[in-house]
């Protein structure tokens, strides 16, 4: 008797969705150093990302996203959130690191402001106040010493 022909069922690919990460870095003196790179983890596993747009194909379902900035051995600007990836759909998320290393980064579905702005303004105002006091003291000492 001849063997009946049959076909092996083909494997059905798992449903996936697209996660688009928009990672924004601020340039300039109060921005992210050029040597700093973003880092991402999804469900605790590292994912290769860079500044700008990152397209990631992920299995449909729930996941945990963690983002931060690494500059040498220093990691700062952490932000995390739970995701729900829907099969065949795209989820856009935006991340902005802080201006101040002790502040948190921000992540959301719209472009995010840079965190730590208030702390940075307070620090700069404090430095300006100290410089102003030193200048006033120097003027007063100079006038009282040489003005007579």
**Are 97 and 124 part of one and the same domain?**
no
pLDDT in tens, 44-98: 999 999 999 999 999 999 999 999 999 889 999 999 999 999 999 999 999 999 8
User: What pLDDT is recorded for position 2?
Assistant: 56
Token pair, residue 48, equals 């290769």
Q: Do both 36 and 104 map to the same domain?
A: yes
Q: How many structural domains does the chain have?
A: 2
Are residues 52 and 104 both part of a single domain? yes
Distance (Å, rounded) from C-alpha 69 to C-alpha 117? 17
Structure tokens at 141: 């000492």
Looking at per-residue pLDDT, the higher value among 108 and 26 belongs to 108
The predicted structure's pLDDT at residue 121: 74
Look at residue 111 in the predicted model and tell me its pLDDT.
92
Residue 124: both structure tokens together:
């700069």
**Does residue 87 fall inside a structural domain?**
yes
- Residue 63 Cα to chain centre, angstroms: 18
Q: Grade residue 99 by pLDDT with cuts at 50, 70 and 90.
A: confident
User: And the tokens for 45?
Assistant: 């596993």
Q: Does 37 share its domain with 103?
A: yes
Top-confidence residue, 25 or 86: 86
Strand partners, 55: 20
Inform me whether the pLDDT recorded for 146 exceeds 90.
no
The pLDDT value recorded for residue 145 is 86
Using pLDDT thresholds of 50, 70 and 90, give the confidence band for residue 28. low
Instruction: Name the least confident of 38-42, 48-52, 123-127.
Output: 123-127
């Amino acid at each position: 008797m001849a063997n009946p022909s049959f076909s092996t069922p083909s494997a059905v690919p798992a449903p996936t969705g697209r996660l688009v990460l928009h990672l924004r870095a601020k340039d300039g003196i109060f921005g992210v150093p050029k040597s700093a790179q973003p880092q991402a983890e999804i469900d605790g596993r590292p994912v290769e990302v860079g500044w700008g747009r990152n397209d990631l194909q992920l299995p449909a379902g729930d996941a945990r996203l963690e983002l931060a900035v690494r500059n040498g051995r220093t990691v700062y600007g952490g932000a995390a959130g739970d995701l729900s990836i829907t099969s065949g759909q795209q989820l856009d998320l935006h991340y902005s690191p802080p201006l101040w290393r002790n502040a948190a980064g921000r992540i959301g579905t719209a472009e995010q402001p840079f965190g730590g702005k208030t702390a940075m303004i307070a620090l700069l105002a404090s430095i300006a106040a100290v410089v102003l006091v030193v200048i006033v003291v120097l003027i007063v000492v100079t006038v009282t010493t040489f003005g007579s």
